[in-house]
């Protein structure tokens, strides 16, 4: 029989590692599939999604900048996707209904807790940025019961909106960068896209304590600007977002195939690929 077909839709998409990750999972789980990275024009998303499934496609991952549009398009959302109003995983069920889920937050929490052995429970957390990624991450993060979460963002209003939307889950505050100075955090999560161009917002050095952990959603061959900042300011532990990428893919793989691949060998494989490309 024909292979099941999957793809990731985004713009830009050139350097996507998702095809490699899903191919590795498929090999482990004895699933036959094709998985392609597709660059979709900004005004063509809905048509492209419909065309993909009409042509027999089995599932889509959605990345920047289409996650909110994907949430609006899905007929049925999982609870976590509805609350995030962001979708990174789409499929059609047996009745032909387009369904959406978000696996980014589960991916981040699994990488921090299971892979890195970091604690979230009882910790004071700082999130840098208030974009789509933070939207997807907040609920799974709050379920780990941090003591408090502070969201700092250039556009303060965006951080405030997130803080109030997710306030039922625990203590969340928001501010601009100028109001950070006095506080310390146990866990700092960078979800700021300025890192894509090698930059980061100015963070006061005093926000890190002796045992603070710093996690960047970004990843690449070299340490990111935020990771360098964390190391310079004596962070206890520092990680990039490669593990999150593989873990969110594993959760999407589970949504589609109902099997759980091993993530560790794929994270190692991907580290090797990135190092070789450096």
Interface with ligand NDP (CB under 6 A): 64, 104, 107, 129-134, 153-155, 158, 191-196, 201, 217-219, 241, 244-245, 248
> Minimum distance between the CB of residue 190 and ligand NDP, rounded to whole angstroms?
8
Looking at the Cβ atoms of 93 and 157, the one nearer to ligand NDP is 157
| Contact (Cβ atoms closer than 8 angstroms) between residue 40 and residue 8 | no
Looking at the Cβ atoms of 248 and 263, the one nearer to ligand NDP is 248
Angle at 261 between CA 255 and CA 267, to 5 degrees: 115
Q: From the candidates 14, 32, 67, 171, which is the catalytic residue?
A: 67
Nearest to 224 by CA among 245, 246, 193, 203: 193
Binding residue positions for shikimate: 16-18, 63, 88, 104, 219, 248
Q: In terms of DSSP H, where are the helices of the chain?
A: 18-29, 45-54, 67-73, 79-84, 104-110, 132-142, 156-165, 225-232, 242-257, 264-277
Q: Is 14 a catalytic residue?
A: no
Looking at the Cβ atoms of 92 and 214, the one nearer to ligand NDP is 214
> Minimum distance between the CB of residue 16 and ligand NDP, rounded to whole angstroms?
11
d(CA 144, CA 122): 9
Sheet arrangement for strand 89-92: 33-39, 4-10, 59-62, 89-92, 98-101, 76-77
> Minimum distance between the CB of residue 1 and ligand NDP, rounded to whole angstroms?
32
> Minimum distance between the CB of residue 36 and ligand NDP, rounded to whole angstroms?
19
Binding residue positions for NADP(+): 129-133, 153-158, 217, 241
> Active-site residue numbers?
67
């Amino acid at each position: 029989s024909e292979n099941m077909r999957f793809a990731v839709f985004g713009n830009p998409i050139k350097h996507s590692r998702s095809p490699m990750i899903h191919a590795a999972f498929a090999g482990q789980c004895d699933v036959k599939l094709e998985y392609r990275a597709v660059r979709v024009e900004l005004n063509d998303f809905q048509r492209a999604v419909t065309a993909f499934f009409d042509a027999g496609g089995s599932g889509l991952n959605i990345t920047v900048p289409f996650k909110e549009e994907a949430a609006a398009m899905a007929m049925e959302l999982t609870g976590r996707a509805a609350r995030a109003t962001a979708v990174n995983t789409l499929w059609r069920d047996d009745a032909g209904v387009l369904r959406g889920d978000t696996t980014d937050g589960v991916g981040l929490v699994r990488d921090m807790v299971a892979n890195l052995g970091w604690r979230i429970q009882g910790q004071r957390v700082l999130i840098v940025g208030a974009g789509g990624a933070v939207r997807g991450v907040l609920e799974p993060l709050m379920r780990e019961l941090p003591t408090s979460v502070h969201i700092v963002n250039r556009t303060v209003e965006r951080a405030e909106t997130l803080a109030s939307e997710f306030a039922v889950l625990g203590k969340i505050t928001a501010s601009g960068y100028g109001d950070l100075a006095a506080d310390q955090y146990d866990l700092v999560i960078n979800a700021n896209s300025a890192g894509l161009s090698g930059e980061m917002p100015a963070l006061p050095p005093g926000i890190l304590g002796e045992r603070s952990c710093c996690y960047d959603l970004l990843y690449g061959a070299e340490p990111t600007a935020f990771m360098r900042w964390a190391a310079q300011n004596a962070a206890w532990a520092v990680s990039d977002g490669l593990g999150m990428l593989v873990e969110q893919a594993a959760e999407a793989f589970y949504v589609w195939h109902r099997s759980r691949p091993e993530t560790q060998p794929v994270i190692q494989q991907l580290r090797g690929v990135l190092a070789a490309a450096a």
